């Protein structure tokens, strides 16, 4: 199994949401063998989400989530049980359990808390060389970029061969139209420092942070609501294709160029749509004044 994580020491960058979406995309849309381990002590958000969805299945069997969940077997979702402090024995037990579960083909996704200190599972597993790829969700907030960059530097010290990539997340329409040159400059600066940046930027979608009891939801551990995702955040599909290709070792410069071209085309179409709507609004206002 390939082991993957979205990670950033700064909270609120979307690592848990992206983990759920990527795991469900792999398991229910791509029909891959998937396991998820919730290492986010003490909150265990993914484990909590799974139990809430099991209750929803019982109490509301006609909900969209319940109906979609009957089409597939839920992927295994466990949690790394630890004591109050991450003792050496706890870390060894977690590493041994992950090795045991990683036999065969497929993908294991790990969700960590926003910490990168000696004694934390993230630090320990990375130092052991057990994680195949780390994706850092970042956005235009400076703190998210600084946190990712500092962690990237620390990882380079303890595991120089670790594969990592930065992922632009929560891009707003205003940022998309007004900061294209800024994104290009930031990408160039990252690459100049030897940091890879994903080809796709993920749109900011409020519904992505809501659970499966919400109308139009896209986040669930029990299903992948393809129609909702395509409507709300279609940029997730090319991002996940890229992450899967990076894990599989099939990611190429040609694929990067294709994904960038698709992103640029989407940006152009959305900018044109925005300009058209703005023009229609201005014309309507002029007619009203006349």
C-alpha 23: how far from chain center: 9
> Rounded to an integer, what distance in angstroms lies between the CA atom of residue 152 and that of residue 218?
30
Contact 5, 134 (CB under 8 A): yes
Residue 207 tokens read as: 């519904």
pLDDT per position as a tens digit, 172-193 = 767 666 656 788 889 999 999 9
pLDDT above 80: residue 113:
yes
Q: How far is CA 86 from CA 80, 122, 125, 170, 277, in A?
A: 11, 11, 13, 32, 54
Q: Name the most confidently modeled range: 76-80, 148-152, 258-262.
A: 148-152
Task: Provide, rounded to the nearest whole percent, the portion of the chain with pLDDT above 70.
Answer: 86
CATH number at residue 68: 3.40.50.300
Same-domain check for residues 55 and 188 = yes
Same-domain check for residues 53 and 187 = yes
pLDDT of residue 267: 66
- 225 closest CA partner among 70, 24, 22: 24
Same-domain check for residues 86 and 155 = yes
Same-domain check for residues 116 and 45 = yes
Same-domain check for residues 129 and 229 = yes
Q: How confident is the model at residue 281 (pLDDT cuts 50, 70, 90)?
A: very low
pLDDT of residue 157: 97
Same-domain check for residues 231 and 261 = no
* Mean pLDDT (whole number) for 214-230: 90
Same-domain check for residues 268 and 238 = no
Residue 103 tokens read as: 């036999």
DSSP collapsed to 3 states, 196-244:
CECCCCCECCHHHHCCCCCCCCCCCCCCCCHHHHHHHCCCHHHHHHHHH
C-alpha atoms less than 13 angstroms from C-alpha of 127 in its C-beta half-sphere: 15
Q: How many domains does the chain have?
A: 2
pLDDT per position as a tens digit, 124-136 = 999 999 999 999 9
Same-domain check for residues 161 and 274 = no
Domain boundaries, position 118 = 2-251
- 141 closest CA partner among 9, 10, 7: 10
Same-domain check for residues 181 and 289 = no
**Do strands 133-138 and 77-79 pair parallel, antiparallel, or not at all (unpaired)?**
unpaired
Q: Name the most confidently modeled range: 82-86, 155-159, 176-180, 226-230.
A: 155-159
Same-domain check for residues 99 and 157 = yes
Contact 204, 214 (CB under 8 A): no
Same-domain check for residues 216 and 280 = no
Name the residue with higher pLDDT: 12 or 152. Answer: 152
> Helices (DSSP H) in the chain: which residue ranges?
15-24, 45-59, 64-69, 88-101, 121-127, 142-158, 173-178, 180-192, 226-232, 236-248, 253-289
pLDDT above 50: residue 283:
no
pLDDT of residue 271: 59
Same-domain check for residues 280 and 154 = no
Q: Report the alpha-carbon angle 109-86-52, nearest 5.
A: 45
pLDDT per position as a tens digit, 73-104 = 999 999 886 655 567 878 888 899 899 888 88
> Rounded to an integer, what distance in angstroms lies between the CA atom of residue 22 and that of residue 163?
18
């Amino acid at each position: 199994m390939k082991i993957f994580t979205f990670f950033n020491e700064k909270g609120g960058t979307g690592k848990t949401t992206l983990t759920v979406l990527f795991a469900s995309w792999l398991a229910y849309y791509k029909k891959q063998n998937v396991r998820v381990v919730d290492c986010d002590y003490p909150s265990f958000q993914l484990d909590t989400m799974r139990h809430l969805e099991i209750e929803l299945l019982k109490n509301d069997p006609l909900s969209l989530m319940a109906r979609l969940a009957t089409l597939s077997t839920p992927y295994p979702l466990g949690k790394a049980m630890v004591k109050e402090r991450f003792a050496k024995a706890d870390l060894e037990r977690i590493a041994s359990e992950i090795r045991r579960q990683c036999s065969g083909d497929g993908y294991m996704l790990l969700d960590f808390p926003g910490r990168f200190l000696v004694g934390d599972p993230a630090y320990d597993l990375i130092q052991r060389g057990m994680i195949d790829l780390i994706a850092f969700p970042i956005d235009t907030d400076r703190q998210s970029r600084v946190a990712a960059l500092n962690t990237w530097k620390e990882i380079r010290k303890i595991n120089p061969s670790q594969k990592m990539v930065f992922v632009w997340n929560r891009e707003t329409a205003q940022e998309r139209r007004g900061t294209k040159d800024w994104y290009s400059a930031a990408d160039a600066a990252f690459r100049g420092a030897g940091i890879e940046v994903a080809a796709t930027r993920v749109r900011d979608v409020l519904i992505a942070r809501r659970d499966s009891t919400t109308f139009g939801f896209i986040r669930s551990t029990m299903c992948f609501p393809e129609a909702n995702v395509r409507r709300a955040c279609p940029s997730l599909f090319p991002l996940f294709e890229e992450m899967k290709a990076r894990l599989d070792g099939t990611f190429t410069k040609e694929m990067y160029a294709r994904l960038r071209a698709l992103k640029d085309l989407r940006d152009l179409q959305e900018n044109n749509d925005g300009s058209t709507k703005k023009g229609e609004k201005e014309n309507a206002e002029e007619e009203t004044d006349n």
